[in-house]
Structure 1
Amino acid sequence: MTLDSSPGLGRRSFLGGLLAVPALGAVLAACGDGGSSAAAGAATLKWASSFFPTHWDPVVGGSGAQFRHLSLVYASVTRVNEKGEAVPDLAESWDYNDKGDQVTFHLREGLTFSDGTPVNADAVKKAVERAKTQEDSALFGDLTSIDKVTADGDLDVVVDLTQVDYQIPLLFGERVLQVASPQAAADPKALDQKPVGHGPFVITQLIPGTKAVLEKNPDYWDAANIHIDKVELVSAPDASTVVSGLQTGVYNFADVAAAQAQAAEKAGLDVFVQPGYNASNLSLNVNKKPFDDPKVVEAVRYGIDRQEFVDKLTFGYGTVATQPFPKEYIAYDPQSADLWPHDVAKAKAALAESKYSGDDLTIDLVIPAEDPAAEVVQSQLAAIGITVNIKIDKNWATPFFAKDLVASLYGTTGRDSPLQTLTAHFGPNGPLNLSTPYEPDGFEKAVAKVRQTPLEDGDYEANLQAATRAGLVSEALVFTYSQPSVYAKDPSISGLPANPGHINWTGVKIS
């Protein structure tokens, strides 16, 4: 993968220096049989993933990891380039009206979904409407700026907005608007088992939760730059066995746990970090005791030692995080870089000033599965006088998104629209805001200013950082650390494009 950034791109290049992170492992030697080709000589990608999709309906999926797999099947209205800018996908161009409350996307001509249904304005219209209204949609909260969508002929999609919002071209990327065939999507349950899109590949076999086999889509609009003939996507077994599977050619590409990265390097695999927006946090519910007292929140903020998370959990790959963006990203706020430094004395003092002073404070930290980060939180809060009971609930998502928990852990992979990332965390209806409908003072006004600023405007960066700063006032989230997405591949696979937060197979070859 190419991770070098061009000199002079600067912070406006979206990820700037993050793209300059060197590859973590040099190509030492080919191993096993390379795992790169099928018997007939087809270039076959054998991908083992710990995030195998639980849903193949892009409206339902919603996961920050799983949409990367769904992009094998579905194209989106736009996508992001290596600078994180919105670039054409199904839409070859777009333009706003003078007021900024309407944007028209102009689709490519002559495209079809893999079931033969035309890719047209009506298909995109139905995709947006389904994302807004389908009962089990994970995306409706991301589309609040959308008033209505109109098909103007076959190829022009007119999007009327509830407010001026120049973020829409970023919003309509892979994370939110992967477009399914409207004919197939008429039965969403069937689509979930048999996905139909206009992506670079077509599914030929799907064993839910276990395996998907895909073949190159010759009708994909950019098929000339897709050099992989077949994909075998499987759910990864235990993390400790992935490296041996890569060594023996059972797989030739996999996401790997940071703990396994060194072993992968020693095995002669190409280990690399895919740039992204990963950030973990401790989520608090200010509507419930004891976090209804700001002094208790203040105590927790000072009680968290971010460096301990990095040292104990990331094996040298992570960094401390005070906000949901990496330092090189345009939305990162330098003024908030040192928020809430670890200080046990200040934490204890804040707790002593709270209305719960003298109480035996005990909270339940509810998480979906075993997570060593929970034990770090438990230890750190015990040091300031708060007892943490770790509870595992496999159905954690239901109470989390219903805002019924007192505290939990969460990690974000970010969005293509930085404003969407902010509103998801800090907005009154944000899915990642455990304290809904709470939002910090001044956040709504700061968000509105960003929406009203065109992406190419000279004030965009400053306005965006001001919105980040306003969001971080929130008492509902304490950011802890960032662990990037680490991958290992057989050296026979060429480097991947460094599109932040995405896995893009355009131009990738298997020798």
Structure 2
Amino acid sequence: MPIRRVPAVFTALLTALLAVALAGCAPISPSEGGGGASTAPVAREDLDPEATIRYADAVGPSRFDPHRSTNGQDIRYLAPVYDRLVHLSSAGDPIPGLATAWEWQDDGLALRMTLRQNVRFHDGAPFDSAAVKANIEREKTVEGSSVAADLASVTSVETPDPNTVVLRLSKRNSMLLGLLSHRAGAMVSPTAFDNPDLDLAPVGTGMYKVTSYRPNDVIVYERNPDYWNRDVVGAKSIELRILPDEVTRMNALRTGEVDVALLSGRLAGEASGLPGMTVHRDTTLTYLVLYLNRARSEFGDPRVRQALNYAVNRQAIAQGIYFGAAQPTVQPFPPDYYAYNPAYPGDFYPHDPAKARQLLAEAGLPNGFEFEMLVTALSTYTQAGEAIQQMLAEVGIKANIRNVEAAQTADVYYRQQQGDALVSQWGGRPDPSMTIDLQFTSTGFSNPGRVTTPRLEELQRTALDTLDPDKRRDTIHQEVGELVDQAFQVPIVLDESVIATNQRIAGFELLVTGQVDFQKLAVRKQQ
């Protein structure tokens, strides 16, 4: 196949977008607003517990059963309903959830957890050690489980008394607390296990119950009057509207139809100019990436994967598509996060089409090749996919785009293993070993081709076996080096979360994983 150059019209468009981003949309600092609501703490007596929060997001959950949900970002919708055994601080540290304390025993081969007392599920069933045991056994065996691999090292669950569980492990697993703060730690009422409507009517112990759910339209959460944490105020209800188009979300915010809206860098400046509006911009553990099924197309050759990395102009995408609300990256973790390896900065693979063509020739592909590239059907990802398509075309690679509905992306690419590659966002995980395990090991759910390297597998075993934080961090840094050197995928940018809130909203806080802390989100009383 002949080498194809980027059409002049695309080059001109990207250049124009870059100029607009640099000249007209100067970066907004985190939580910078347009003279609107302050992010300072609000006294409890100034909050309205009877209010409704109206929230606009781009996509809904793949399903409400946390043990069979196929999208890691579903945790955003699951967390209000399902408390986990372990919760997270805003910095990502494990803190008490349904478990109030824990300790490693038997040289790290057992995790003993003390459970919170007097907690009930939404259907009235008691939460106790028997419920934890039932949940973990379900997660390991239920058909379609997406968390069975997470708990593979858990060989048994002991229940010495109603308020204590002991998880016995076949081998040490340093990421277990992180796993138990995510979907694997979400507790479902055992009386609802066989409910065929569980995907539409979840039953947890969380601060909110789902009282109405119309997929791809709206989710209504109502406060749980019997919630165990009496210290949180929250709101009486949350109406989460699913609006895939960000301009529609922006208009709903402008007209007062919603109080909170997920936006993008392109609209951040406009939103910050609205009276009473605050724009929150936070770098989290999410990133835009071109995933590669390394068992498909020509992606088994690391030289081809490196060529893809050199072909992509990350800075142009960060500025031209994200309008500065992103930074180039070649690894899964952001600077200032303990798993980040500083030896691999965002320009480690500079934009170098000549180098890309050289590597393709060395791999026996001087005329390039073609592959099917799935793209999550949301505007930002669609734009990024088209930009990547044109950049790859410049070095002779033809990427045939197929758009996939956002909520179904993970199921189509990971479970059904359709497509050779995917342009989408990786949802942050509470522990770096989870990200590495899922995406890059031979058993990872998010590694559909199961292709890895012996060195990565050995380093991952070492990281999981190491409970000392400093030694574990050093091993994770080595893993990051292996991922980047072998070009397992094509990380593009660390995309900032851009969320706008109007002056009614108080207590907005984003966890490092990218999810809103709904226990702190509240509404100010009207003056």
TM-score tier by shorter-chain length is 0.7 to 0.9
CA contact (8 A) 2:417 2:448 kept: yes
For residue 347 of structure 1, the aligned residue among 356, 364, 372 is: 356
Any conservation in 2 of the 1:215–1:231 contact (CA below 8 Å)? Answer: yes
Counterpart in the other structure of 2:190: 182
The one-letter amino acid paired with 1:467 is E
Change (3 A) 1:411 1:508: closer
| Corresponding residue to 1:250 among 232, 252, 257 | 257
Q: 1:214 to 1:290 in 2, by over 3 A?
A: closer
C-alpha contact 2:30 2:282 (8 A) present in aligned 1: no
CA contact (8 A) 1:302 1:343 kept: yes
**Residue 419 in 1 paired to residue 419 in 2?**
no
Maintained 8 Å contact 1:440/1:471: no
Decide whether the 8 Å contact of 2:505 with 2:523 is kept in 1: yes
Deviations 1:174-232 (A, max 9, x none): 34321111111232x22222211111112233333322322221222213213322222
Instruction: Kindly indicate whether residue 255 of structure 2 is the aligned counterpart of residue 281 of structure 1.
Output: no
Match for residue 492 of structure 1 among 495, 499, 504: 504
Distance 1:52 1:217, change over 3 A: same
Change in Cα spacing, 1:470 to 1:353, as seen in structure 2 (3 Å) is closer
Q: Aligned equivalents of 2:29 and 2:477: distance in 1?
A: 23
Counterpart pick for 2:120 among 86, 105, 112: 112
Indicate conservation of the 8 Å contact 2:283/2:494, yes or no.
no
Range with greater deviation from structure 2 (74-83 or 122-131)? 122-131
* Residue 92 (str. 1) matches residue 100 (str. 2): yes
Q: Choose the corresponding residue for 1:215, options 222, 228, 234.
A: 222
Aligned to 2:422: 408
**Cα distance, 1:265 vs structure 2:** 1.3
- Aligned-partner Cα distance in 1 for 2:377–2:123: 39
Give the superposition deviation at 1:83. Answer: 2.3
Is 2:506–2:522's contact at 8 Å kept on the other side of the alignment? yes
Alpha-carbon distance, 1:346 to partner: 1.5
Distance 1:300 1:209, change over 3 A: closer
Change (3 A) 1:363 1:194: closer
Corresponding residue for residue 443 of structure 2? 429
- Summarize the alignment of residues 295-334 of structure 1 with structure 2, pairs less than 5 Å apart: 295-334=303-342
| Partner residue, 1:167 | 175
In the alignment, which residue of structure 1 is the partner of 2:15? none
Q: Are 1:264 and 2:266 an aligned pair?
A: no
Q: How many Å apart are 1:88 and its aligned residue?
A: 0.5
Deviates most, 458-467 or 323-332: 458-467
Counterpart position of 1:356: 365
Are the equivalent residues in 1 in contact too, given 2:59–2:216 (CA < 8 A)?
no
The CA deviation string for residues 227-257 of structure 1, in whole angstroms up to 9 with x for no partner, is 3222222222632122232233221112123
8 Å contact from structure 2 (residues 123, 203) kept in 1: yes
Structure 2 partner of 1:146: 154
Q: Does 1:465 align with 2:477?
A: yes
**Alignment match of 2:466 (pick from 443, 453, 478):** 453
2:394 counterpart of 1:386: no
Equivalent residues of 1:61, 1:67 under 8 A apart: no
Query: In the alignment, which residue of structure 2 is the partner of 1:478?
Result: 490
Q: What percentage of aligned pairs have identical amino acids?
A: 28
> Which residue of 385, 389, 398 corresponds with 2:412?
398
* Structure 1 residue 280, shift from structure 2 partner: 1.8
Q: Distance in 1 between matches of 2:263 and 2:350?
A: 31
Q: Indicate if the aligned counterparts of 2:36 and 2:502 stay in contact, CA closer than 8 A.
A: no
- The match for 1:197 among 198, 204, 212 is 204
1:123 positional shift? 1.1
Q: Would the aligned equivalents of 2:37 and 2:502 in 1 still touch at CA under 8 Å?
A: no
Does the 8 A contact of 1:62 with 1:139 survive in 2? no
CA-CA distance at 1:487 after TM superposition: 0.8
Distance 2:289 2:272 in 1: 29
Q: Which string of whole-angstrom CA distances, capped at 9 and with x for unpartnered residues, describes residues 290-321 of structure 1?
A: 23333322322221221121122111111111
Aligned CA-pair RMSD: 2.4
Deviations 1:58-114 (A, max 9, x none): 112242332112211111000111221111000000111131011011101111111
SS for the counterpart of 2:249 is: helix
Q: 1:52 maps to which residue?
A: 60
In 2, Cα distance between equivalents of 1:230 and 1:238: 24
Cα distance in 1, alignment partners of residues 69 and 244 from structure 2: 21
Cα separation, partners in 2 of 1:408 and 1:53, compared to 1, 3 Å: closer
State the distance in 1 between where 2:94 and 2:435 align.
16
Give the match for residue 17 of structure 1.
none
For residue 332 of structure 1, report the CA deviation from its aligned partner: 0.6
Q: State whether structure 2 residue 131 is matched by structure 1 residue 123.
A: yes
Any conservation in 1 of the 2:34–2:273 contact (CA below 8 Å)?
no
Letter in 1 for 2:385: A
What are the ranges of 5 or more consecutive residues in structure 1 without an aligned counterpart? 1-19, 31-39
Q: Secondary structure at the match of 1:472?
A: helix
Structure 1: which amino acid aligns with 2:389?
Answer: Q
Amino acid at match of 2:179: L
CA contact (8 A) 1:148 1:160 kept: yes
Residues 328-378 of structure 1 deviation map (CA, whole Å, 9 limit, x = unaligned): 111111112243222222112112222233x45222223343611121111
1:34 alignment partner in structure 2: none
Runs of 4+ in 1 over 4 A off after TM superposition: 393-396
Q: Which amino acid aligns with 1:387?
A: K
Q: Deviations over 1:413-463 (max 9, x none)?
A: 121121011111211122222431x112311221122212225x4323222
Instruction: Tell me how far 1:162 sits from its aligned partner.
Output: 2.1
Give the CA deviation at 1:393.
4.7
Map of 1:9 onto structure 2: none
Contact 1:493 1:508 in 2 (8 A): yes
Does the 8 A contact of 2:306 with 2:486 survive in 1? no
Report deviation, 1:275.
4.4
Q: In the alignment, what sits opposite 2:76?
A: 68
C-alpha distance in 2 between matches for 1:129 and 1:27: 52
Give the equivalent residue in structure 2 for 1:241. Answer: 248
Q: Is the 8 A contact 1:293 1:355 kept in 2?
A: no
Q: In structure 2, the residue corresponding to 1:148 is in which secondary structure?
A: strand
Partner of 2:4 in structure 1? none
